[in-house]
Structure 1
């Protein structure tokens, strides 16, 4: 592989790992905690490995007790580095043989290989094996060791090595502990996994071919699509050169580290997809129709229309004290007070109380309006993310009624003040009252002085009987004018009250819309954006 292609592979892997980091960040509280932990560990392991030597390939020889793993390690290295014996388990600590020690130290430190178990091939011994330059060969403790410490070390390095070589023997190549615990867990790692059928010297050529075919068939059934099987004998050296050739190919390509991380990432992404299936992109903003629907539902929940109607009625009833015909109003005092019949005494305080009671009395409707918005936006989303949107929509639902109450209380008009034109109409009405009273007194004076001759009138016009019809006409005109102006004024008041109601409801709906935006829509849009970012990160994390 060329330097350019290696750089491209590294860049592609880096982009995918960055996407995985974003998935871990966005998936908090939405994904299985164990899955998030595994993803975080992969990110940590990948970050560490990519910072270390890319000129070295870590190859781990793994296998069970008696598989001849350590013998094969010595055969490949050409030195007696790893102990061999009948005592089980033989390998208690990981041994490492390094071809090309320069730059390998930090990598061996990261692998936690003890200094006394590190061996370097001297240049005098590397004749004919320059193709292995950059190889770090590990002889792991037996994976089925009865010692918990060494078993843990084997498991850790199996998860960390760039290339895994499974050493199996003809008697136990189908060992369930290997296949169940490791092989099936490394499905998709074909490019960084090699299977060695060791101790092949114990088999006839026909038996060897049968065992290799059976092992390949078993591996395919367990998900290894293209298994690489090499038959060796550490005792006779048969097949060791074939194994070296496989290792040399991997070392020369210098891509095993990337392939291992890519395979780990692929497997993790499959688990992520399985954990949150049917991932579909959604609109990250709440459309205008849904915003309007939420605002309208909240307005219904707090009784905006009812409040507007009540305010309109109060406005109309209260205007009777200002623009109504005084005589009609005085006569109405003999009847029950209409304000009391409407229960609107202390109008402004009652209206503010009405606002508060409308909000606090309908918490279920507020909750239903918020729930309806969340349900409408999350159709088709995975259930865990639907729950997230619902939680976001309801994150401030307990504060919403009080906030609505405070906003609408501020909208209540200052009913202790009246329009200027009401004052002018009231003055006009009382001028007509004075004119009627004056006309009535004039007519009485004419009757007293001109008809009944009660005495000498103070002025000639007060005793002129000929003027009496005109005075009567003036009285009727004043009464008619007063009634007409009262009726016209009432119509103007009704029109003005309707306009005031419309203005008031518009203001209230605007305020409700602002509250809905700040307390419901914005949290929902943040969660939808989070979901879409997760969707994008998942797409980037895939191949």
Structure 2
């Protein structure tokens, strides 16, 4: 399989990691975030460089025979050997097939004087190594901080690492603590060379190989590749070269290394942010929760109370215009219970219902916003739970005043008089005048000694008076019926006016809630959803 056909499998995972890095600040541990950024940078750089070369690093402690093994594998005396500490102070590189390798060697920061090339990549038995860049790293347990740092850097950059261990220190705690325990999932790009096998009897060597395998498995390396070698006698060198050649010929080591690095980082990310916890979290605020928030905020600012007060005032003021005048005049002679209820001041109260102290309303507004956030974050990771609550409260300080300002604009105009009220009042007073005229006619006809003047007699005193009485009673009945009908129409109008007012106030409350609460929350929920989608994408 070529690198070209393998990259598409890697590309989506790198894209997912890019998204995680983009969305992670403030949510992910900064150390994890920095490691993710470093891995993206490494992957981007490595994938832009030669895919025809495989970087294999020989890493080991002082005295492990690493440089001798490097010389044995290259067939040249390239790296100094001896007993000085450290023997290798600078990284040496041997390249099989130099064409196109220079940018990769520059990226690895290998000095020119430490770069070597085989005379021919087609030397007998060496064609299988064409494309190999073999590095002899500084000793990782060096007492020189500079070389120790360089070894760590190149171990992270190499496509395949060969750990050179000696029989005396193969279980060295520092090596296993600093490096081996981090190799879980890197089996495909990690080889262990148990060097200096010539110092051991066959039985001892076999026992050490078994012990090393067991030790590596206990530390998380499920399928360790252990090759016994001897740079002195050449034992196992060809076997090691064969293992390396397999990785080189497949041109897959760089991809395997990046996939392994991604896998290790993914495990740490998943431990920090378990994907399972996000499955039940909504990606947006559903309609039911929007309506619930609107209802709660309407209650918090007293929308039902305003509507009811408006309806009562509407009905009460109408009595001054459309009620049958005679009962109203009689009521004025009795104590007015309306004044004790202060209904005449309700108009001012409605206009000022949210303009005074809003401490109580603020508490209820806070409870409404809190309830929305609580419902959306059930089972959510604490970091995201906090973020959603913070988003919901981001404009909480301004929310009561925004509701106040908006609802004040739609407070009902209680001094508005519908035209039909005026027309009905004129009609009722016409009836009052007709009733009064009829009563006067009857009284004059009955009480005046000479009866009505001849100019006002219709048919005759005796015949006219019953008809006048009937007409007078009809006018009275018509006035009473018009008063009752008008009151019914007023009550219907008041109910419709209340519905219109509450509907408009609710619309405004919903708009403010959407802008100041729902939108910030949905932004955070979208970020949460995108983050965990990227986490699932990272897992492949």
Q: Taking structure 1 as the reference length, what is the TM-score of the superposition?
A: 0.91
* Cα distance in 2 for residues equivalent to 1:361 and 1:440: 60
How many correspondences in the alignment? 536
* Partner SS, residue 194 of structure 1: strand
* Cα distance in 2 for residues equivalent to 1:330 and 1:189: 99
Q: CA deviation at 1:147?
A: 1.6
Q: Which of 517, 531, 535 in structure 2 is aligned with 1:534? A: 531
Judging changes above 3 Å, is the alpha-carbon distance between structure 1 residues 8 and 399 closer, same or farther for their aligned structure 2 residues? farther
**Superimposed CA distance per residue, residues 355-408 of structure 1 (whole angstroms, 9 cap, x where no aligned partner):** 446976322222222222333233333332333333333333333323322332
Partner of 2:490: 493
Q: CA deviation at 1:176?
A: 0.5
* Cα distance in 2 for residues equivalent to 1:422 and 1:473: 28
**Superimposed CA distance per residue, residues 422-466 of structure 1 (whole angstroms, 9 cap, x where no aligned partner):** 011111122123234434554565577437x9xx9695559x875
* Partner SS, residue 155 of structure 1: helix
Partner of 1:325: 324
Structure 1 vs Structure 2 CA RMSD:
2.6
Q: CA deviation at 1:150?
A: 1.3
Q: CA deviation at 1:412?
A: 2.5
Is 1:427 the counterpart of 2:446? The answer is: no
Judging changes above 3 Å, is the alpha-carbon distance between structure 1 residues 40 and 340 closer, same or farther for their aligned structure 2 residues? farther
Q: CA deviation at 1:128?
A: 3.1
Matches within 5 A, 1:112-511: 112-123=109-120, 126-277=123-274, 278-281=276-279, 282-335=281-334, 340-345=339-344, 348-356=347-355, 361-442=360-441, 449-450=448-449, 461=457, 466=462, 475-511=472-508
Does the 8 A contact of 1:99 with 1:121 survive in 2? yes
Partner of 2:88: 91
* Cα distance in 1 for residues equivalent to 2:410 and 2:357: 14
Partner of 1:58: 55
Which stretch of structure 1 is more off in the superposition, 513-522 or 362-371? 513-522
Does the 8 A contact of 1:322 with 1:426 survive in 2? yes
Matches within 5 A, 1:31-42: 31-42=28-39
Which stretch of structure 1 is more off in the superposition, 439-448 or 387-396? 439-448
* Cα distance in 2 for residues equivalent to 1:174 and 1:34: 29
Which stretch of structure 1 is more off in the superposition, 210-219 or 228-237? 228-237
**Superimposed CA distance per residue, residues 127-186 of structure 1 (whole angstroms, 9 cap, x where no aligned partner):** 432221111111111111122111111111111110011111111110000000100012
* Cα distance in 2 for residues equivalent to 1:249 and 1:306: 82
Q: CA deviation at 1:221?
A: 0.5
Q: CA deviation at 1:188?
A: 1.1
Q: CA deviation at 1:522?
A: 3.4
Judging changes above 3 Å, is the alpha-carbon distance between structure 1 residues 359 and 488 closer, same or farther for their aligned structure 2 residues? farther
